[in-house]
Structure 1
Amino acid sequence: MNGAQRQVPIAPVLRPTGRNNGLSEGLVLLSRGQITDLEAAERFRILRAQMERRALEAGPQQVVAVTSAVPSEGKSVVSVNLARAFGTDPRGKTLLIDCDLRKPNVHRFFNQMQSPGLSDVLVAGKSIRSVLRSVEPGLDLITAGSPVIDSSRAIEQPGTGLMLEELKKHYQYIVLDCPPALFCSEPLHLSHLASSSLIVARSWRTEKKLVKDAVGLLGKKAIAGIVLNECNDTVSQYGYYGYYGYDRQAIAKAKATRARRPKVRSAEQREKKRSFSFFRRKGPQAAPSAPIKSESAALGKSE
């Protein structure tokens, strides 16, 4: 692992959790006694644990900014579920703030109205107390608020920093859902106000160059990690997702397990292979080959 990877580690990869069109989808239930996506919930707990570990090494991580290089990377899903994971901490409450005034989305996860919210505090002068909403035990929410003409000016004013300083007195953690880093200036300003930042990237579509550009823009020291979203590789499916970038032995073990697994072909592929071998055979006719075992039998023997 080189120095750059240590400074910008890969956080737990996240498999799809649904589209973000309401409370029932896009949210991972963590510990409320209801039906849960256990694997996804565990990944967010690991992400929370890694942020807590960073706090021991780099100081308090009270304010976490979550962004992405480009739109539609799933940053709001990560922001919401990370805040909910923090919200289970009995030491104090967590606050989630939708700082994406250009395309607000967080309120939909909790079936809340968009306004009043952050913009109403920063632009219209409403009190913080008037826009706070308790959405879960241990978790409060400030939505994006009323639409504004110039979102950059609204976010980048001194009042944003003053507001966060006041909120830090009352919350154990504050999670900021920020706009994409390469599309506007707000994430750069918010990352300076935050303790650290997370960059969310879809593993199957985001160009590495774009992620590197986002890291370069925000600064490596400010980045706590890169979250790979919607990752369906074999390593993640076998439970080694939580150690990606931290424990190379676990990854090597997972890959070795995959390499030892017998290659299973479909019936059509097996028949095609037998026909091809027959027509290529030269010399005296070979003895009939042994019957091909079924897929279930082959797998059973390998076990």
Structure 2
Amino acid sequence: MSIIEKAASRIDLKRSAPDAALDDTAVAVPPAVIGADPAAIAGPATLPFGADTVAGAAPATAAAAAEPVPTAPKFSTRRVELDLARMREQGMVTAAAGRTRLLEDFRVIKRPLLQRAFAERKPGDKPANLIMITSSLPGEGKTYSAINLAMSIAMELDHTVLLVDADVARPSVLRTLGLPAHRGLMDILLDDQIDMADVMLRTNVDTLSILPAGTSNPRATELLASSTMNSLLTEIANRYPDRVVIFDSPPLLLTSESRELASHMGQIVMVVEAQTTTQHAVKEALSQLKNCPNVNLIYNKTREFPGIEETYDYHYG
């Protein structure tokens, strides 16, 4: 049975089509790199503390030498404001929108993910609360799905959510949410003096935090495969027992970063765009996830009734 035939047997859900700008890319070609200049993301350089030395000056007294040298101040976790009214207008999940079809769709989608996320873990199992959202190609709606899934889980009474923009070559989470670029994941992996708390963004949705992609780096694949990344994932998976971590990943058929990231994940959700993504592309993408124990599909952007307003159907399994 083909992957499309399998998808047809799954749950059909509908929502109104969002603005095209809400997809991870609005066209079928890779977009330009999003974000500020890397130097701007990294922020101003920190000058060394202590008195300047002048050539020929007398040596400091013993008392002065004994004074402790102040250390550079650490960055504190920043708080950003999500424009919930704008998100609601653009067709996204928000608590203030009331009971909508889209909200119900993502309630259905999130439930089995949450059940597996907090099920008893067997020795050797990957943390099931690490969930990667991906697609085979750009423009299939993975970023839109990642944000909506994160917002839906944030409404739970017993869980918190960390949304990670792991599409480090073309980050789009902050752009989609109308937020400026910030330091993030790549900066943590490049500088062992930077802690996750230094770059994580807290939001006005109390149970939702965001870890941006950060400064673009040509060694992204190697950084994601590093022991530093492995330690970071262990930390974010286990520090808080109620936390779900959603990763917006690069498309599987365009980059090697997504395959490396998938090797750490307990659950994968692959977004498939109806009437656009070929069966060959879906099969090729799924073949790269054959070692992942839990792979789920969201069958997206289906025009179910010709001549009637386009709808988005989710087939989940």
Listed one character per residue, the Cα deviations across residues 68-94 of structure 1 (whole Å, up to 9, x for unaligned) are 101111110011111111111221311
Residue aligning to 1:195:
266
Q: Distance in 2 between matches of 1:86 and 1:92?
A: 7
Residue aligning to 1:39:
101
- Scaled by the length of structure 1, the TM-score of the pair is 0.69
Residue aligning to 2:279:
208
Residue aligning to 1:289:
none
Q: Distance in 2 between matches of 1:245 and 1:130?
A: 36
Listed one character per residue, the Cα deviations across residues 227-285 of structure 1 (whole Å, up to 9, x for unaligned) are 11112315xx9x9967x567xxxxxxxxxxxxxxxxxxxxxxxxxxxxxxxxxxxxxxx
Residue aligning to 1:104:
171
Secondary structure in structure 1 of the residue aligned to 2:230: helix
Give the counterpart letter for 1:40 in structure 2: L
Structure 2 residue 221 is matched with structure 1 residue 152: yes
Secondary structure in structure 2 of the residue aligned to 1:134: strand
Give the counterpart letter for 1:77 in structure 2: Y
CA offset at residue 13 of structure 1? 5.1
Q: Distance in 1 between matches of 2:137 and 2:3?
A: 25
CA offset at residue 58 of structure 1? 8.6
CA offset at residue 10 of structure 1? 5.0
Q: 1:159 to 1:210 in 2, by over 3 A?
A: same
Residue aligning to 2:112:
50
Listed one character per residue, the Cα deviations across residues 87-122 of structure 1 (whole Å, up to 9, x for unaligned) are 112213110000011100001233322221111111
Residue aligning to 1:255:
none
* Structural mapping, 1:2-21, within 5 Å: 10=10, 15=15, 16-18=17-19, 19-20=21-22
Q: Distance in 2 between matches of 1:245 and 1:177?
A: 18
Residue aligning to 1:298:
none
Q: 1:225 aligns with which of 263, 273, 296?
A: 296
Q: 1:42 to 1:27 in 2, by over 3 A?
A: same
- Scaled by the length of structure 2, the TM-score of the pair is 0.66
Do the aligned partners of 2:301 and 2:312 also contact (CA within 8 Å) in 1? no
Do the aligned partners of 1:199 and 1:223 also contact (CA within 8 Å) in 2? no
Structure 2 residue 150 is matched with structure 1 residue 83: yes
Do the aligned partners of 1:11 and 1:225 also contact (CA within 8 Å) in 2? no
Percent identity between matched residues is 21
Q: 1:158 to 1:205 in 2, by over 3 A?
A: same
Q: 1:74 to 1:58 in 2, by over 3 A?
A: farther
Residue aligning to 1:132:
200
Count matched residues.
Answer: 242
Secondary structure in structure 2 of the residue aligned to 1:91: coil
Q: 1:193 to 1:245 in 2, by over 3 A?
A: closer
Q: Distance in 2 between matches of 1:39 and 1:53?
A: 22
Do the aligned partners of 2:263 and 2:292 also contact (CA within 8 Å) in 1? no
CA offset at residue 54 of structure 1? 4.2
Q: Which runs of 5+ in 2 are unaligned?
A: 24-81, 122-126
Higher mean C-alpha deviation, range 214-223 or range 224-233: 214-223
Residue aligning to 1:29:
93
Higher mean C-alpha deviation, range 103-112 or range 210-219: 103-112
CA offset at residue 193 of structure 1? 0.9
RMSD: 3.5
Do the aligned partners of 1:13 and 1:227 also contact (CA within 8 Å) in 2? no
Q: Distance in 1 between matches of 2:304 and 2:113?
A: 24
Q: Distance in 1 between matches of 2:14 and 2:252?
A: 20
Secondary structure in structure 1 of the residue aligned to 2:288: helix
Do the aligned partners of 2:14 and 2:101 also contact (CA within 8 Å) in 1? no
* Structural mapping, 1:284-303, within 5 Å: none
